[in-house]
Each structure stands twice: as C-alpha cells, then as structure tokens.
Amino acid sequence: MALYIRDSINYKRLIDLPDDNIELISIQVSKPKTKPFIVCTWYRPPGSTTELMNRLEDVLQKLDTYHMEVDIIGDLNCNVGATSPGCSTQKLLDLCVSYRYRQLSDQPTRITQLTSSIIDLFLTNHPWNFSDSGDTDIGISDHCLVYAIRQICIPKSNPKTVTSRCFKNFIPDSFRTDLSMVP
C-alpha cells in the first residue's frame, strides 16, 4: 500500500486509525483557506472474510469523530456494480449508507475479456466537493485508474476597474468635424 503526496501539500499522517490487520494509510490534508480533509487508501485482498469489513467499520467510526470530509480510495475487491452483491460487498454498501459515503463513479474499473466490475472505488462523505470523477484505462493493468477532481477555493485577485465609453450613438462624421476644429 502506498500514497503519493506532492511536496507542496501540507499534510499529517493519522497514526491512530490503522490497525495491524487492515492495509490502510490515512492523512489529513490542510490547504490554505479551506477546511482540512482526510484521505485514506485501503487495499482489501480478494477472498477476505467479512471480519475485515468489521475492522473497516471500526475505522469509519474513528473517522466519524473527526467531523470532516473523508475520502477513501482503493482496490476494495467488492463489486459495487453487481446485480446480486456478495456478503462483503453488501456489508460495504450497508456501511456506506450508515456513514453517508457515496461512490463517485459507476463505470467498471476492472475489465477483462469476460467480465467487468466496479472494485476500485472512490468513496466520499462530501460528494459535492468534487467537480468531476471517473476512471481511465492506463494500459498496464486490467484495473483502471480512478480519479476525482476536488474543488479547492482559489483566492480571488483584486478587482480591476475598466472605464469605457458607450459608442451606441457615435456619429463618425460629427467626430471628424469636431477633431478638425481643435487647434
């Protein structure tokens, strides 16, 4: 499990969230003039027991105490697009309802010759903070790259005053005559 963070982003690692049995990295991001938010990456191995979902529920309870935006990104190996979800997927969907998380993309993220599924997820409890989201094929895997574009407040520049004249009633011949009379 890894998390890439640009040098210019102010963050701190939340060390009280993960436990030894869940592959989760959590950070709190602080941007100027915006509320801080939490980003978590999580990998759930395929074939994991529903006990791992209970551990996720413990993490979601801890995250809920922060009272801020939380974004969870990762390969959860739960096909949220399945017509009849499995036990772990149903538990994940129930947790999303309970904690008010929403999956941002409904497009397949793992595509093989025979199947397609939505297992690479971007879950957030503040979906209105994102202007766009989706996934794109990167060509090196049967998994797509999941992305979301978050709206961050951009400081406004000072207003610029422009003075202009209305030329609606402009008569070019009268203007030329006036100019020719100027000493």
DSSP 127-164: GGGEEEEEEE--SSSSBPEEEEEE--PPPPPPP-----
Any domain includes 182 = no
Any domain includes 177 = no
Q: Which residues pair with 134 in a beta bridge?
A: 147
Any domain includes 180 = no
Residue 123 is which amino acid?
A: L
Any domain includes 144 = yes
Higher pLDDT, 167 or 40: 40
pLDDT tens-place string over residues 138-180: 877 878 888 888 876 655 667 778 787 777 888 889 888 988 9
Domain enclosing residue 29, as ranges: 10-158
Number of domains in the chain: 1
pLDDT tens-place string over residues 65-93: 999 999 999 888 888 888 888 888 899 99
Any domain includes 15 = yes
Is pTM beyond 0.85? Reply is: no
Contact 99, 60 (CB under 8 A): yes
Given this model, what pLDDT does residue 41 score? 92
